[in-house]
Amino acid sequence: MKLKSIVTLLVAAVLLAAGSAGAWSLADLLHKSGPTTRDSATAGAATSVATATPTAATAAVPIPATGGSAPNYRAIVQANSAAVVGVTVAGTRKVGNFDSLPNLPDDPFFQFFRGLPGWQRIPQQGAPFRGQGSGFVVGNDGTILTNAHVVRDAKEVNVKLSDRREFRAKVLGSDPATDVAVLKVEAGQLPSVTIGDPQQVQVGDYVLAIGAPFGFEQTATQGIVSAKGRSLPGDSFVPFIQTDAAVNPGNSGGPLFDASGRVIGINAQIYSQNGGFQGLAFAIPIDVALRVKDQIVSKGHVDHARMGVLLQDLTQPLADSFGLKTPDGAVVSSVEPDSAAAKAGLKAGDVIIAVDSQNVHTAGDVSSRVGMAAPGDRVQLTLWRDKSSREVALKLGHAESDATQSADATEHPSTLGLAVRPLSLEERKQMQVDHGLMVEQVEGPAARAGIEPGDVVLALNGEAVTRVEQIRRVLQSHPKHVALLIQHDGQQIFVPVNLV
């Protein structure tokens, strides 16, 4: 995703093109494809999995901080490097190819699309890929944390220890919403890291990252905490820790240590204009990652709560219009019918200024607190409405998974002919949208209107679409026509669909 037109969101993972030897494409490194390519010294061949018996080791001992001076980085690395692992993956991933436009029927609707580039999409095929990231041991039973994007679509995952032993890893589960994955290797008494408290870390504190940037294993880089609680586009659940520690492709999934040698985060993303590190790195707080890990270990998946609102940051002009002194809060721009927010009486124009007595500064504050709660949890919201505050109790609903769901129902004759699912976190980043439904299959009216698999439904009859139920609700009234806002090949187009 681009923060501005020239800023590319780079996920720090090295993806090696299948069949290449010592070269990688930057487009494969990004959440979003990019035009730049570079050469890499990373080997292109996979290493075989070793079967040697692991040696016993104990957890790393925290390194005492040394007052106002720099930490003992050497001691931190020596105490923790054995618990940092390299993660290599292999699998197949769908890629889209485009050909020239066909001779479309003499239909006015199709004539409208004739001038659009890439209207015909060749069916997606699986292309082999190989990738590399980092991870770290959080339990001496062989439990390892890494990023979900590192193991996405992987058919084979290998873990390499600092002593060069390798093990085949099982992916216990991954959560694209927070970009956390949990691996397990059959190796006992592995060295593990010591967990710190990211809440105690302050801006300006020293940090150290260990990982495998560009395949260079066991690389340590240092910096400071640049900011806390960062909300990034498309990442509604994670209050990122921003640092200036050098993080590059291959660091994804590696640990971020505080000055005492305790892990406070998982390195996940960077912002870059040229594909390399430029002083902006972002880590998932370790308390968020551990909550995700516990759910994956206990039940194999993660349940996130949802409130059922669209939020936007409060600006000073908006604050003035609402009668607020400062632009602290999140404005409710819309409320989904039958959602938890609707049942609690929230309405567009409300400003959420606190959640469970914790002040809200941005919309990301609300999203991260709600997203990491459990469905059914109750939260206390402090709202600003009609130039006065009020308290509202709300029982959170359940966020939908990324499973494909049909938007048609057999009892409704006026059907669209679409099978859709919510966009994953990575897809939202790649497509530069914050909501929408991915089209998986098309038939009937939707197919005749020119909608294709891979398109994204952004709105229906002018209402932003975030859930499949919104489409079902409109179809229940048996409309003759609907208007869909579709993102197709990076362009947003209104598509009228005739249902009769």
Say yes or no: do domains 1-302 and 405-498 share a fold. Answer: no
Distance CA 17, CA 19 (A): 6
Closest CA to 192 of 395, 340, 56: 56
In the chain, DSSP finds a helix count (H) and a strand count (E) of: 11, 31
By DSSP bridging, strand 418-422 and strand 437-442 are antiparallel
Tens-digit pLDDT profile for the chain (500 aa)? Answer: 333 333 434 333 433 333 333 333 333 333 333 333 323 223 333 333 333 333 344 455 566 555 567 899 999 999 999 999 999 999 886 654 433 334 434 444 333 333 344 434 444 456 788 899 999 999 888 999 999 999 988 999 999 999 999 999 999 999 988 999 999 999 878 999 999 999 999 999 999 999 999 989 999 999 999 999 887 765 567 889 999 999 998 999 999 999 999 999 999 988 877 767 888 999 999 999 999 999 999 988 888 888 888 888 888 988 898 899 999 998 988 888 888 999 999 998 899 999 999 999 888 788 888 877 888 999 999 999 999 999 999 999 887 654 333 343 333 334 788 888 888 767 777 787 878 888 888 888 888 888 988 899 998 887 888 878 788 888 878 788 888 889 988 788 888 888 87
E strand map for 279-318: 281-285, 305-306, 309-313
pLDDT given at position 22: 32
Q: Where are the alpha helices (DSSP H) in 186-279?
A: none
CA torsion, ordered 286, 287, 289, 290, to nearest 10 deg: 110
Fold of 405-498: Pdz3 Domain (2.30.42)
Q: Structure tokens of 157?
A: 């995952």
At position 194, the amino acid (one-letter code) is T
pLDDT given at position 212: 93
pLDDT given at position 275: 67
Catalytic residue numbers read 149, 179, 252
pLDDT given at position 495: 84
CB 285 within 8 A of CB 258: no
CB 245 within 8 A of CB 221: yes
pTM: 0.64
Fold of 305-398: Pdz3 Domain (2.30.42)
Question: Where do the domains of the chain lie?
Answer: 1-302, 305-398, 405-498
pLDDT given at position 465: 84
pLDDT given at position 499: 83
Backbone angles phi, psi at 242, to 5 degrees: -95, 135
Domain 1-302 CATH assignment equals 2.40.10.120: yes
**What are 397's strand-pairing partners?**
306
